[in-house]
Amino acid sequence: MIPRLLAAALAAAAAFSSSAASAQVPVRVGVIPIVGAAPLFVANGSGALKAAGMDARVTTFESGPNMIQALASGTIDVYVAGVMPLAVANSKGVKSKVVTATAIEEMVFVAGPKLAPYFEGGVSAAEALKAYRAKEGRAARLAAQPPGSVPNTTLQHWLWQVAKADKADAEIVSMGIDATQQAVLVGAVEGAAIREPALTIVQGRNPKIKLVATGGQMFPSQPGTVVAVTPAFIAAHPKEVQALVDALVAADRTLKEKPAEAAPHVVAALGKGIVDEATMTKALTSPASRFIADPRAIIDATAKMQAYQVSIGTLDREAPLDGLFEPKFYLEAVKK
């Protein structure tokens, strides 16, 4: 009798487990591996998404523009990267809804060991770059992600609008995130627009790498990483989208108030065995980490950045941002 009862109990447990597993909604998430995406890593790593009935299947990309292709082909449901490629895609019929921001003013500019000395003594960026070209006989090579990305746009804005540098004194080299970090470390470029955790990592490995300009100096209120969801996924799973935003808002609070508690989840997503929790905690609290969840906070800055992209030829024209931002999920989350 007892074996029969045990077998029945095991069968019931297995059926319940199978039912629970089948109840999990698969969510295909595309993300670039940066600290600006930390709210997603915390929400997923802490188990909040799973508890809310979501099976997050995360794929990493080198940049936002690269991820747009996946968005256009329907292979991801959630986009976690820079807002500017989304604005361009939206104008071309690749629709999505920005449901939260995650961070602003992420991009900073660092000068490598060869270029950094030219910035000493209060020398302006324009003067430093001019002096470098005069002595070295060539323009300083500065790395950033591809044209159209937030890093590239931010770097150009800082060089030409803020620093007023001569375009003959700086050459922008397009490359991915990991390649940029390595290029700075080995001296393949003289400077770069980077984000965390790259800033903390490169300065930790070589203190001669100098932080020259913060995100706010490069582009005030610089719009950064956002979380966007496809209209199809919102229509099919509105409750899960609300739960996702709830978890992201909670993660934003944890990152601001308890960074050491958030660090292990970010390390698990980004560390790749080379970043410890202490280093990540430092990255989470650095000048390049400004977390914010309210999507309304970046609308004006997004419009200004888009206007600048038109001025430099990255975009043919400004596209209306109407319909790109959807704050209702965030507003509901903060009520809780």
For residue 197, cis peptide bond before it (omega within 30 degrees of 0): yes
Model confidence over 198-256: pLDDT tens digits? Answer: 999 999 999 999 999 999 999 999 998 999 999 999 999 999 999 999 999 999 999 99
Helix 198-205 with 177-186: angle, nearest 10 deg: 20
pLDDT in tens, 28-39: 999 998 899 999
* pLDDT above 60 (res 6): no
* % of residues, the chain, pLDDT over 70: 93
What is the Cα–Cα distance from 254 to 196, expressed in whole angstroms?
17
Q: Return the domain boundaries, the chain.
A: 24-104+222-335, 108-218
Segment 42-89, tens digit of pLDDT: 999 999 999 999 999 999 998 788 899 999 999 999 999 988 888 888
- 108-218: CATH number: 3.40.190.10
Q: What per-residue confidence (pLDDT) applies to 299?
A: 95
Classify domain 24-104+222-335 by CATH number: 3.40.190.10
Q: Both tokens of residue 257?
A: 């108030």
**pLDDT at position 186 over 90:** yes
Q: Is the pLDDT score of 5 beyond 60?
A: no
- Are 273 and 54 spatial neighbours (Cβ–Cβ below 8 Å)? no
Q: How many CA atoms lie within 13 A of 177 on its CB side?
A: 25
What single-letter DSSP state applies at residue 37? G
DSSP letters spanning 52-106: TTEEEEEEE-S-HHHHHHHHHHT--SEEEEEHHHHHHHHHTT---EEEEE-EES-
Each residue of 261-308: pLDDT tens digit?
A: 999 999 999 877 778 999 999 999 998 999 999 999 999 999 999 999
Task: Please name which of 55, 155, 79 lies closest in space to residue 111, comparing C-alpha atoms.
Answer: 155
Among 38, 81, 74, smallest CA distance to 236 is for 74
